[in-house]
Amino acid sequence: MEDEKYESGFVDKILGDIFYTTTQKIRDEITNIAHVDKNTHILNVACRSGETAFFLAKEFGCDVIGIDFFAAHIKEAEKIARREKLTKKVTFKKCHAENIPFDENTFDLVILERSLSCYYNKPKIIEECVRVLKKGGIFAMADFTVDHISEEDKNELKELTCLATALSNTEYMELMKNQHLTDIKNISKEDIAEKNTKILMQKWKKIRLFSNIFLKVSSVDAGKFEIIMRKGEKIIKERRLGYMLFYGKKA
């Protein structure tokens, strides 16, 4: 995932952070699954401005490290940590999730925030997350899923959103199995998918309104862009966009 490819779709730029949903309910479920307490050492991958990391430190008193690809996210998270007087519990580091700068068997819990769908080398990301886990540690992630979309349509829809590179539920589960995680489970979060679907439909007029701006910096002509927009709209209306919580244990 290079910075010029991440959040590079037209829809992503217009709608901002609506796709980056890690709800409090999901956080609660993950902490229950992993039996988090003050002694749990946690890595928060793709932490953005640290909302999940701060919750964990405040709620459980545990040590959390947040990593993110973008310097602006790290800067904002560090500012909040100082303001909240949490610098002894929460630290942040800029790095790429394909090369996590920690030793093997370091963390009890690794949480990958809603971002795997946007990475191009998905197997490597999960491999790194599992590598830094202790034996018996939990890897957890929540992300969007897409179903019944051809590779041709996915390639076209990349012009709109990085969500076009999301996988199906089965494909995510397979990636986790390939890293020898055990007790792999998935929990459907259709309420989140439904909420974001409604937002997308509400925002669609805005997306079309600003399409002339997008076309000025895109190689796609107006006719082609309209076709892509219609495909995106069809996928939304047919509810082919899902949301799942996945987790597994390192053997």
Q: What percent of the chain has pLDDT over 70?
A: 75
Q: What is the pLDDT of residues 2-34, one digit of tens each?
A: 444 444 555 555 555 555 567 888 999 999 999
pLDDT (0 to 100) of residue 91: 98
Which pair of tokens denotes residue 157? 């829809």
Domain locations in the chain? 10-250
Q: Are 40 and 60 in contact (CB under 8 A)?
A: yes
Identify the three-state secondary structure at position 6: coil
247 by Cβ neighbours in 10 Å (0-12 / 13-18 / 19+) ranks as: buried
Mean pLDDT of all residues in the chain?
84
With bands split at pLDDT 50, 70 and 90, how would you rate the model's confidence at 217?
low
Q: What is the pLDDT of residues 99-142, one digit of tens each?
A: 999 999 999 999 998 888 888 899 999 999 999 999 999 999 99
Question: Domain 10-250: what homologous superfamily?
Answer: Vaccinia Virus protein VP39 (3.40.50.150)
Q: What is the pLDDT of residues 48-65, one digit of tens each?
A: 999 999 999 999 999 999
Task: Say if strands 133-146 and 241-250 run parallel, antiparallel, or are unpaired.
Answer: antiparallel
Q: Are 75 and 49 in contact (CB under 8 A)?
A: no
